[in-house]
Chain A
Amino acid sequence: MADISRTRDIAEGDESAPWWRVVERDGGRVVEAGGPWIVMALRGLEPGAANPPAAARAIDIKAVTALDTAGVTELLHLRRAAGGCPIEGADEARSGLIELVEKNARQAAAAPPPVPLLIAILNDVGESFTRFLDRSARLLEYFGEVLVIIAKGLLRPGRMRVNATIVQMREVWIRALAIVAVLCFLIGVVVAYQGVEQLKQFGAETFTVEAVGISILRELGVLLTAIIVAGRSGSAFAAQIGTMRVNQELDAMQAMGLSPVEWLVVPRIAALTLSMPLLVFWGNAMGLLGGAFACEIYLDFTVSQYFARLRDTVGINHFWVGMIKAPVFGFVIAAIGCYEGLQVKSDAESVGRQTTTAVVEAIFFVIVLDALFSIFFLSVGL
């Protein structure tokens, strides 16, 4: 192969670009090709079909300085345009290359025809429907298995995997304390500040304490914590289990007769169901503290005045309404995270996709459940 710079830009008449021309020679019309017919230089070549040479006696490639498979495909196009004449001037190596490409190009061209559009649409509809049925069946199977294993564990507590649960609790509870504290505190401050601003117009700014207390205890504390946990732990569950699927760790477990649901899923669900109330309690405390902080600054309430008023005016029922939701949300977030992790196929892309799905679905279900809880508590008068 001649040494040619492959980086130079290809310009008209440049020696680094492939070219061909039609000449009259030896009593016939011959297409002469020259320059580098290689993949990095082909950009400069006019498509053969756009400007076809008339039927020629031969294609002469003696002047071709370099040739590779991509170049050969263009030569073959040129030959087809020139009426299928023979290619001349190739040495043994180049003839071999041309033969190789010719043979494989024939095979590549034998690709099956595309499916008609209507059939393709019907295929798509059918496929998504069976996928939906399949998915529903798998979801049912999964929840069944989770509940059976939890029931077994409750009947025989010795079977529960306590160590794994505690390890997970450290991850989802202890390590989440800081972020939950900061965010709930800030929300407490924000609610109190807004309360003071709005209620001042009616001269009712002291009711800020009730506004903060009720909104944090009933809704904001638990919702905010659930969203943090979904983003933090739900996604981690999906990614951990999904990566284990990619590494075939789940297959290895099943081959040993160990159920991934028992070993991986149930400890995570138990850990998060137990951790959520603890986190929500902590978050509530921090939210109320944030409210106290804001009230001290904007309202000249001392902290003890604030808490005294809170105790006198905000019933304990508000606290319980919030706390009851916590384990339910924890269960839902963990169950969805683990389920999506198990749905990972054996490639990296699906780990990312299932992790995203886990977080979005978890937050979606948390908010839907929160709405259902609100209706329920309203109707029972709590």
Chain B
Amino acid sequence: MSTAAQASGEPAARPPLAEGGQITDRRDGRDRVISLRGIRNKFGTTNIHRNLDFDVFRGEIVGLVGGSGTGKSVLLRTIIGLHKAKEGSIEILGQATASASEARLANLQTRWGVLFQEGALFSSLTTAENIELPLRERARLRESKLEELAALKIAMVGLPPDTAGKKPSELSGGMKKRVGLARALALDPELLFLDEPTAGLDPIGASAFDDLIRQLQRSLGLTVLMVTHDLDTLNAICDRVAVLLDKRVVAGTMEELLAYDHPWVRGYFHGPRARAAGIGGDSGRRRGT
């Protein structure tokens, strides 16, 4: 794929981006699971995103990073359809969401799962009921099957079986996230959105959660898009990283971003925390992609 539509305004020092905001094209013939073109989001009089292109390909884990106020969460909400973009087109799993009929959109929603930052569990329902809800409402399975699948999902996210009967208020922050992940996986989606999956977890819990996501992604063949600030997560499990810079997305592998010349990117990937996470140094060889 050759370099395509290129916006003006990029400093001359940086080479133009490839299609979908990539530094160099890494598509490799894979499907585009998410494809954003020319997105503009506006709050009040300020544009948060302008002329933003972004692609996520099948079977990869992409981390979305950016400074505070660059609109990471807004972008995620835009993709999921919780926020309507002023301009631009969004295609998810080959479906244009803006023009999709209600039935098609409902169908599409069964093919993705979302883990919100604090889990967003329904506080009046038990853990098992939280996981059963999408199964009951969307897949219409029989009751015994619901229980079996809920128990399976609870085991898959590494929680003990007795979690099933507990209310969200009885769970710790890390357990809530795991239950949220189990609920997101309830309908066996192809695409998983994670909003700060490791925020608020201790380092051991965070790296266990990273491993869990990687393992589930491999065995279920998921495509994952996550908003994260955790440099360890980026380094350990993300195949590509998308950075929100100057209202647009610049996406590349860790190596490409380390070589990318932009003050924010330098500060982020060459800062002390990045070094502590083993990024940039020789010791920081990433897992193969």
Contact = CB atoms under 8 A, between A and B. Distances in A.
A97 B218 CA distance: 9
Nearest to B188: A68
Interface stretch (A122-130, A139-147, A304-312, A340-348): A340-348
Given A345-B169, A346-B169, A349-B124, A97 B219 contact: yes
Contacts of B185: 69
A183 interface: no
B145 interface: yes
Report whether over half of chain B's contact residues are helix, strand or loop; otherwise say mixed: helix
Contacts of A105: 148, 151-152, 155
B96 interface: no
A70 B148 CA distance: 9
A224 to B, nearest CB: 34
B195 to A, nearest CB: 19
Contacts of A100: 156, 219-220
Given A100-B219, A111-B161, A40 B152 contact: no
Contacts of A107: 155, 161
Interface string A14-56: 0000000000000000000000001110110001000000000
A73 B221 contact: no
Contact of A110 (B106, B161, B187, B219): B161
B235 to A, nearest CB: 25
A96 B106 CA distance: 29
B273 interface: no
Q: In which size bucket is the chain A interface?
A: 20 to 34
Contact of B151 (A68, A70, A108): A108
Interface centre among B138, B145, B218, B220 (most CB of A within 10 A): B145
A101 interface: yes
B86 interface: no
Contacts of B142: 47
B110 A97 contact: no
B128 to A, nearest CB: 11
Interface of A: 1, 5-7, 38-40, 42-43, 47, 68-70, 73, 93, 96-97, 100-101, 104-105, 107-112, 345-350
Interface of B: 103-104, 106-107, 110-111, 123-124, 135, 138-142, 145, 148-149, 151-156, 161-162, 164, 167-169, 185-188, 190, 218-221
30 contacts: A1-B190, A5-B107, A6-B107, A6-B110, A7-B103, A7-B106, A39-B149, A39-B186, A39-B188, A40-B138, A40-B187, A42-B141, A43-B140, A43-B141, A69-B149, A69-B188, A69-B220, A70-B149, A100-B156, A100-B220, A104-B156, A105-B151, A107-B161, A108-B148, A108-B154, A108-B161, A111-B161, A111-B164, A345-B169, A347-B167
